[in-house]
Structure 1
Amino acid sequence: MPVFRKEAFESLRINNEVFDHDFFWYAEDFDIAWRMNMFGWKQVFVPDAIAWHDRKTTKSLSGGFSEFRNIRHQIPLAKRRLEFRNIRWAIIKNDYTINILKKRAVDASLSFFV
């Protein structure tokens, strides 16, 4: 569960919006985290943090993985592919082009040795 300082969250505004409307269904949290990093905000993982979820408002997945898979397959394939698209879009729009090119060069050189 992400928790933000109001000042940090407000500093992410682009065209007076914090959330990018180009993201649909997936990866808006990834986009926010990426921009926080790019804007120099410190991010901390706290494994002992506890968050409570009100189960009365959402259906629990008591059937485990098989129920999750069945629900997931009810979502049209085009919408399921948005997760991949949105994560790539977050990287492209937020990172400097030179960093993306450097990472691709490193990835290509590593795959040569595999």
Structure 2
Amino acid sequence: TRSHTRENLHKCPQCPVQMANASNLLSHVRAVHEKKIIKSCEPCGKGFITYNSYKSHMRSQHNIGERYQCEVCLKMFNTTTSRLQHIRRIHVAEWKYECQICQKKFKDKKMLKLHGR
């Protein structure tokens, strides 16, 4: 069985980071300490130490690559994570506080209390 105890962790020779997987540690050393460029942007020449940072750059700076759309308001995002954060922050909690007198709805309790004054 695989264990994540301190004895089985691979230690970075240059900083306190410890990882259970040796290949992840190697990626860490190359990216963080060696600043090894694994991918370059053809349009502008900028170099990247992770593939994810390259993909994000291509989407945000050159409009190349997959984008993700909010199904509720149709706003576009560069990553699935940013789209999910938007949905949770803007739409999930939307209008869940209701005035018992006039039935007007609010996004947060503070606004409902201000309304009731």
- Whether these two folds match at TM > 0.5 is no
TM-score class normalised by the smaller sequence: under 0.3
Normalising by the residue count of structure 2, what TM-score does the alignment of the two structures yield? 0.26
Name which one, 1 or 2, has greater alpha-carbon Rg.
Answer: 2
Higher helix share: 1
Work out which structure has the larger RCO, using CA pairs closer than 8 Å and 6 or more positions apart in sequence.
1
Higher strand share: 2
